[in-house]
Structure 1
Amino acid sequence: MLALSTSFVSLMVLVYISAAQSVAPIYGQCGGLTWNGLTICAVGLTCVKENDYFSNCFPLSTAYTPANAAAQAAGKLYFGSATDASEFSGSDYYYSYYLKQLRQLTPENSMNWNATEPEQGVFTFAGGDAVVDYAQSNSQLVRGQS
């Protein structure tokens, strides 16, 4: 029977703890052009590219495909959605995460007549500007609607 020294066992525990702390957790960021953090996902996870600037760790057991990647695989140019600033400025992490998967956003009600001219002769485009700013910060396209 092989006897292991206490220092060897301590070293192995330290290596294990260090290794466990040097991988990205589930849904954690694991890559991107400007990313300087962890690039290896924990066991059972895989790094999925969302766009050039963002990749994150998803379970291997799920058949996950980002919405835009699925649309492009089906021959579409991109996948997008209409939204307003109130929908991504709140605390709903999952909806915000979903929006970042899209390649295109359209300002929804924030660009309707009653929102852009709340009283005659008084104009505001703050809601539409917020959607455009959000899209630009996530490298997304913006489209208008009529």
Structure 2
Amino acid sequence: MSPAPVIGVAVFLVKGGTVLLGRRRSSVGHGTYALPGGHLEFGETFEECAAREVKEETGLHIKDIQFVTVTNDVFTEAAKQLHLVAVYMRASLADPEQLPQNIEPEKCDGWDWYDWKNLPQPLFRPLETVLKSGFSPFPDELT
């Protein structure tokens, strides 16, 4: 029997023309750059999950959290197969002076701000899927 799909919530944390990314250390997508986020817990709203995951991973408080898009990716090449439905939210820093911390070093090599037009490679597959769709987390920008 195939494993059930997993629902993840990822956050486009935007500041100027940049987004916050970290390099994954987990088995799925190891070494790829990804947005902060994680698994949706029972009874949580997408907004609650976004705020919790960003806080748990980076120590940052966020505001203006809103749904922007969704992706559907299947990882069959991994030792542990994964069907990930990723719900994407956009948010901004509650305090622009906050700096990201690497609170879960066993899961991430660290967080940094990257120019949306010059993202590091390789990207986590769901984020790559978003890019290929032409989506931009900057609402005023035409892509």
Structure with greater contact order relative to length (CA < 8 Å, sep ≥ 6) = 2
TM-score (norm 1): 0.21
Q: Which has the larger radius of gyration?
A: 1
Considering fraction of residues, name the structure with more strand.
2
Considering fraction of residues, name the structure with more helix.
1
